[in-house]
Structure 1
Amino acid sequence: MVNQQRLVDTFLDLVQIDSETGHEREIADHLVSTFTELGYHVIEDDSQKDTGFGAGNLIVNIEGDEAKQPIYFSCHMDTVTPGKGVKPVITDDIIHSDGTTILGADDKAGIAVLLETLRVIKEEKINHGPLQFIISVGEESQLVGAKAFDPEYLSSQFGYALDSGNEVGTIVTAAPSQAKLEVHITGRTAHAGLAPENGISAINIAAKAVSRMTLGRIGAETTANIGRFEGGTATNIVADSCYILSEARSLDQSKLDRQVAHMKAAFEDTAEEMGGSADVTVTPSYPAFNVEENSAAVQIAKQAAENIGLTPVLKKSGGGSDANIFNSYGVPTVVLAVGYQDIHTNQEKMPVSELVKLNEQVLEIIKLV
């Protein structure tokens, strides 16, 4: 039922619209126009006043058989950088950029699938329940669009985020919480050649603190990383300040709390021992989610994959997505793999076969509900 050429053409059109995170106005206007031409009313929420981004989140409500459960699908319209002037190329049924930019399959592949889904539903007169499509801004900037989304708009019982790089048929049922640690270390400046003993190096404090930490993969559920480490101005000056940005993630909130406490204490205790100080700010980024295998969302996604000849795979993710936020609103949401490859790089690829399979799975889910 999927019109492969139309689906591919839609995807190619979308990736050529600049929409780096924070600058979504052009793609939002294009989507509003496209959904309207298809006969659907689009709501743009007022999240822009909170995010300061180029547009608000889009909500498309599609009337259906009220005897069926209402469900929703979500994607995000923003991309990472460099995402301006994307020139898509197709080689052996693999879509990629010309190598100077990302492709933007994350997550315009999902949007293309939703548009083709509506076209197929109309053409094939597929009976379906009430549907919602939610297309967010700022997913690539710590999920800010979803965080600013008013859950009052959500009228669905469960849903699916089209946003994972595994092969189509993979269903992400759990993802971690994340917390960020922003650290300002203060020491005491001095001349590095004439009187280094009079100084307290903030860089040394930070380095020793980090060396005391357990980082990287910490068991099956928890990870931690130092992402930025900045300090000093010249080699002949003992640096009196240093800035560190780090994170921790875990599928288990208690383990996340312990890891964050461990990292915070390492900074503070080391600074005190060496005569400096550490100002550590911990900011929760997003909550974890875990949707049980026996839930309707998971069972229907599994059955849909099997119906189109795929072997469903349930997976726990190490990354966050809008699904983390929508689950926190009380609406069970799992992530469907899109099949894109090497995302967030200039080598990003979108196999046409995976794009078609995802579209088939989405249509099958709609028919099964």
Structure 2
Amino acid sequence: MIDPIRLVKTFVELAQINSESFKEGKLATFIVNKMASMGIDVRVDISLEQIKSDTGNLIIRFPGNKSVPRILFMAHMDTVSPGKGIQVMVENDVIQSVGDTILGADDKAGIAAIIELVEVLNYERIEHGDIMAILTVAEEKGSIGAKNIDYKNLKTDYAFVLDGEGPVGGIITQTPTQNIIKAKFIGKSAHSGISPEIGINAIQAASNAISRMKLGRLDEETTANIGVIRGGTSFNVVASETYVEGEVRSFSMEKLKTQTEHIMDCLTESAKDIGAEVKINTVRGFTGYNLKPDNKAIAIASEAIKKAGLTPKLVTTGGGSDANVLNEKGIDAVNLATGMVNPHSKDESITVKELESLTKVLLEIVKIALQNKI
């Protein structure tokens, strides 16, 4: 059955392959070779033509009993920064990075569990239905890989995204909607010591705009953040350009719209105040979903979690994932917690027990499908 030693070895190998967003190619090659050694069909999808990455999404097919409901598992290959040169240590059941990097359990824990699932099904010749796994690129940049899947040819009955924070057993049933706001301030350069009065400082316009904004947790449904500000060329030059990037998330579409407009107004008014120009681009990062407790994908996940000896817990989160894209495309999908702790930080970790538990849940999902209980 599940081999914890093999599972941890796979995870460590995955974690130590650089795969920051848009640089997932080496990881994809490793996974393709791993699957090929088991005789599993893998291909790179059409997203390679659309995304500025060095690979597309990986589509893994493991055909089985055609009378059984089709299952899709999804995880993402990219990591956030700092994700280069990751070194992993395993001590007292805890897996974490050595040094000044993330670990990459987000989302290589999900990938490791999928690979171990295939190992178990393949070598123990366990009967199963049609299983597909999609490993996406650029999830951390707004689920770009998931948005470029060929959905016309994607055939599945239920989907399980393996990308949730917290102990295995968590089932994310509700997420907010996210708007991403990008702005470029355009001023006029000048020598800051000789003729500052003829310059228009784009950094000043941006900082004034940010100081006017309501940011952080605005209420129980809404958050807002400015996460990037970049501009200027030298301390003695009035900055002619400054770039700002932020977001708004809310469970309320009305509040999302109101807060997005508030930020845009701050950007526009601050530019106008000093005679600068600002170009603003607002895009939908992801659309929220709110699944009902009687949703079939939730029922499957809950039963699988119980059979794995755990307690299911329905969770609301402020984060987004590829599950948002799947639900928006009409595919019944839930995001499952993978056991990762403190993702997107140098304190990120996961335990061997959680990795094993996650794989057990996936195996139970496959068994439930085989029993035609869905």
| Shared fold per TM-score greater than 0.5 | yes
Residues 272 and 132 (structure 1 numbering): CA distance in 2 closer, same or farther, change over 3 Å?
same
Give the drift of 1:327: 1.8
Q: Distance in 2 between matches of 1:14 and 1:125?
A: 25
Give the drift of 1:99: 1.7
Q: Distance in 2 between matches of 1:140 and 1:275?
A: 35
Q: Distance in 1 between matches of 2:203 and 2:12?
A: 48
Q: Distance in 1 between matches of 2:222 and 2:333?
A: 22
Counterpart secondary structure, 2:314: strand
Counterpart secondary structure, 1:172: strand
Residues 11 and 196 (structure 1 numbering): CA distance in 2 closer, same or farther, change over 3 Å?
closer
Counterpart secondary structure, 2:272: helix
Q: What is the 5 A alignment of 1:290-329? A: 290-329=290-329
Structure-2 residue corresponding to 1:43: 43
Moved more, 192-201 or 314-323: 192-201
Structure-1 residue corresponding to 2:173: 173
Q: Distance in 2 between matches of 1:241 and 1:23?
A: 28
Structure-2 residue corresponding to 1:330: 330
The answer as to 2:347 corresponding to 1:341 is no
Counterpart secondary structure, 1:366: helix
Give the drift of 1:149: 1.4
TM-score, with length taken from structure 1: 0.90
Structure-1 residue corresponding to 2:256: 256
Counterpart secondary structure, 1:159: strand
Moved more, 292-301 or 75-84: 75-84
Aligned residue pairs total 369
Structure-1 residue corresponding to 2:372: none
Unpaired stretches in structure 2, ≥5 consecutive residues: 370-374
Residues 91 and 224 (structure 1 numbering): CA distance in 2 closer, same or farther, change over 3 Å?
same
The root-mean-square deviation of aligned C-alpha atoms, in Å, is 2.4
Structure-1 residue corresponding to 2:356: 356
TM-score, with length taken from structure 2: 0.89
Q: Distance in 1 between matches of 2:150 and 2:217?
A: 35
Give the drift of 1:135: 1.0
Is this contact kept in 1: 2:38–2:122, CA < 8 A?
A: no
Deviations 1:276-301 (A, max 9, x none): 44322212222222222211111111
Counterpart secondary structure, 1:335: strand
Q: Distance in 1 between matches of 2:230 and 2:199?
A: 18
Q: Distance in 1 between matches of 2:353 and 2:73?
A: 21
Unpaired stretches in structure 1, ≥5 consecutive residues: none
Residues 246 and 100 (structure 1 numbering): CA distance in 2 closer, same or farther, change over 3 Å?
closer
Moved more, 290-299 or 198-207: 198-207
Q: Distance in 1 between matches of 2:202 and 2:13?
A: 50
Give the drift of 1:192: 6.1
Residues 236 and 290 (structure 1 numbering): CA distance in 2 closer, same or farther, change over 3 Å?
same
Counterpart secondary structure, 1:338: strand
Counterpart secondary structure, 2:86: coil
Give the drift of 1:71: 1.5
The answer as to 2:158 corresponding to 1:158 is yes
Residues 236 and 360 (structure 1 numbering): CA distance in 2 closer, same or farther, change over 3 Å?
closer
Q: Distance in 2 between matches of 1:180 and 1:66?
A: 41
Structure-2 residue corresponding to 1:105: 105
Residues 358 and 54 (structure 1 numbering): CA distance in 2 closer, same or farther, change over 3 Å?
same
The answer as to 2:83 corresponding to 1:83 is yes
Q: Distance in 1 between matches of 2:28 and 2:237?
A: 50
Structure-1 residue corresponding to 2:136: 136
